[in-house]
Chain A
Amino acid sequence: MNYSFQFNVVWRNFDALLEGAWLTLQLGVFAFSAGCLIGLVGAACLSFAPRPVRWLVMGFVVFITNTPALIQIYFLYFGLPEFGIRWSNEACVLIGLTLNAGAYLTMILRAGFLSVRSTEMEAGETMGMSLPQRIRYIVVPHIAKSIYPALANFFIVILVMGTSVGAVIGVDELTGQAINLSTVNYRWLEYFTIVALMYVVLTFIASIGLALLGRWAFRVKARIF
């Protein structure tokens, strides 16, 4: 191989990459958190709501999980303006990722709802707790503990694979930023080597953060690796 790496080009623009990484992290954290809320409502509906509501939620989940995230975001960015709705590229990625995460998390969290001991829910009921209170105090801690690893994995998926979809509609997250910069001086290999490492560092930090959060908040004895 005769290629000579010239990393100093990358270092000169490292600030821009850091900004991209920061945006990636923000997109990932926001889409995941908002997706968790949607997923919680969706899973609660699938478990407790009347049939028409369950069908509606199921329809949403089936539609979203069976179409590519890229298409969904294209639809928001290029399709909605036809109907007079115009969002910025960042908003489209954010909303698209959030809906996407919400659909997947509905199914992930539903497994958690199903595994709550019905006897605990009955005990809560006889103690006068309302359904939202039972969800808040019995189901959520149970889910957080029992499927915490699945949730943490899903966060990494969004952080790495989900957010990079933004690049195709010009959002300057980490991948987008790398494409922008390397188009200027053709140092693709250098940029993408560094960016790959930055993703690794990002997921590393996120994993540690999640493991610590799990231990502190939910008594999850999660291993970091």
Chain B
Amino acid sequence: MPHLAVNDIHAKYGKLEVLHGIDFDVDRGEVVSLVGPSGSGKSTVLRALVGLTPVTSGSIEVDGTRIDYSAPRAVRAARDRMAIVFQQYNLFQNMNVLRNVTLAPTKVKGRNRKEVEAEGMELLKLVGMDHKAKAFPDELSGGQQQRVAIARALALRPEILLLDEVTSALDPELVNEVLDAIRRLASEGMTMLIVSHEMSFVREVSSKVVFMDNGQVVEAGDPSAIFDGPKSDRARDFFGKVLRG
């Protein structure tokens, strides 16, 4: 049974349908990447998973149990198991870095503050941000904020981590740091769904690649199959452009 199953989901912004039936599975401990052109609906898939964008039809299952997004309790339970890091690092501007990381574990999960702070410092160390624990988001670079956002998501102890373009704002050396962190998480059994434009990163880290275009899954498979021998014209076209560029 897959850890996360997305079955034929449709989603709308207002009247405009932007997902026209998305299907894919993520097994436990697996890293799956969503790739595709800008505007193809990758972020929307992640938003649907955490209940920010309503799904109009289709289903999402975690561990074989369908999530009922109309029930607040079920949505809370789903958010308890999945954590998202947004494309635009949405840090709380009025709190320092450590507080960003510890807020939800202490206030939502009611965990002991000292313990959470110690764990938060460990997580910040993991992403190389422990030296900025007392800084505020507006005093950090984009890449630094993004790494704090990853630490903040991990502090929720999710089973499934959703990462939206987390490397796009990073320097090459930092990309490697984050890559290491993600590899480590994968080896510890963290299930991950990643959206990325960085194809070398995707190829290296993921066991499955889902290529989306215009709100649909065009092709899915293991990275070498998709990158080296895309079957569809759209995928060939896209990878031709991004891999050359």
Q: Chain A, interface size: which category?
A: 10 to 19
Task: Give bound CA distance, A219 to B91, whole Å.
Answer: 17
Do B93 and A117 touch across chains, with their CB atoms under 8 A apart? yes
Do B79 and A127 touch across chains, with their CB atoms under 8 A apart? yes
A122 contacts B by Cβ under 8 Å: yes
Chain A contacts for B93, CB-based, 8 A: 117, 120, 142
Do A126 and B92 touch across chains, with their CB atoms under 8 A apart? no
Do B104 and A128 touch across chains, with their CB atoms under 8 A apart? yes
Q: Which of B1-9, B26-34, B82-90 contacts A (4 or more CB under 8 A)?
A: B82-90
Nearest B residue to A137 via CB reads: B103
B161 contacts A by Cβ under 8 Å: no
Chain A contacts for B86, CB-based, 8 A: 119, 122-123
Do B79 and A117 touch across chains, with their CB atoms under 8 A apart? no
A54 contacts B by Cβ under 8 Å: no
Task: Give bound CA distance, A125 to B109, whole Å.
Answer: 14
Q: Check A142/B94 contact, CB under 8 A, given A126-B84, A128-B80.
A: yes
A129 contacts B by Cβ under 8 Å: yes
Nearest A residue to B156 via CB reads: A127
Task: Give bound CA distance, A129 to B107, whole Å.
Answer: 8
Q: Mark A87-115, 1 if CB is under 8 A from B, else 0.
A: 00000000000000000000000000000
Task: Give bound CA distance, A138 to B136, whole Å.
Answer: 14
Secondary structure dominating the interface of A: helix
Q: Check A133/B108 contact, CB under 8 A, given A126-B50, A127-B79.
A: yes
Do A122 and B90 touch across chains, with their CB atoms under 8 A apart? yes
Q: Mark B65-101, 1 if CB is under 8 A from A, else 0.
A: 0000000000010011001101010111111000000
Nearest B residue to A146 via CB reads: B94
CB distance from B157 to the nearest CB of A (A): 12
Q: Which of B88, B94, B108, B136 contacts A127 (CB 8 A)?
A: B108
Task: Give bound CA distance, A153 to B52, whole Å.
Answer: 38
Do B94 and A128 touch across chains, with their CB atoms under 8 A apart? no
Q: Which of A122, A125, A133 contacts B107 (CB 8 A)?
A: A133
Task: Give bound CA distance, A143 to B51, whole Å.
Answer: 27
A187 contacts B by Cβ under 8 Å: no
Task: Give bound CA distance, A127 to B90, whole Å.
Answer: 12
Task: Give bound CA distance, A142 to B52, whole Å.
Answer: 22
How many residue pairs between the two chains, A and B, have CB atoms under 8 Å in the bound complex? 59
Nearest A residue to B109 via CB reads: A128
Do A123 and B76 touch across chains, with their CB atoms under 8 A apart? no
Chain A contacts for B80, CB-based, 8 A: 128
CB distance from A11 to the nearest CB of B (A): 48
Q: Check A119/B88 contact, CB under 8 A, given A128-B76, A145-B94.
A: yes
CB distance from A140 to the nearest CB of B (A): 9
Secondary structure dominating the interface of B: loop
Task: Give bound CA distance, A14 to B103, whole Å.
Answer: 51
Task: Give bound CA distance, A120 to B152, whole Å.
Answer: 13
CB distance from A55 to the nearest CB of B (A): 24
Do A128 and B108 touch across chains, with their CB atoms under 8 A apart? yes
Chain A contacts for B103, CB-based, 8 A: 127, 129, 137
Chain B contacts for A119, CB-based, 8 A: 86, 88, 90
Task: Give bound CA distance, A122 to B43, whole Å.
Answer: 14
Do B107 and A137 touch across chains, with their CB atoms under 8 A apart? yes
Nearest A residue to B152 via CB reads: A127
Q: Which of B33-74 contact A (CB under 8 A)?
A: 50-52
Q: Which of A15-74 contact B (CB under 8 A)?
A: none
CB distance from B116 to the nearest CB of A (A): 13
Q: List 15 A-B contacts (CB under 8 A).
A: A117-B93, A119-B90, A122-B52, A122-B86, A122-B90, A126-B51, A129-B103, A129-B104, A129-B108, A133-B107, A137-B107, A138-B94, A145-B94, A218-B94, A219-B136
A-B complex: 5 closest residue pairs judged by Cβ atoms: A123-B90, A141-B94, A127-B104, A119-B90, A128-B108
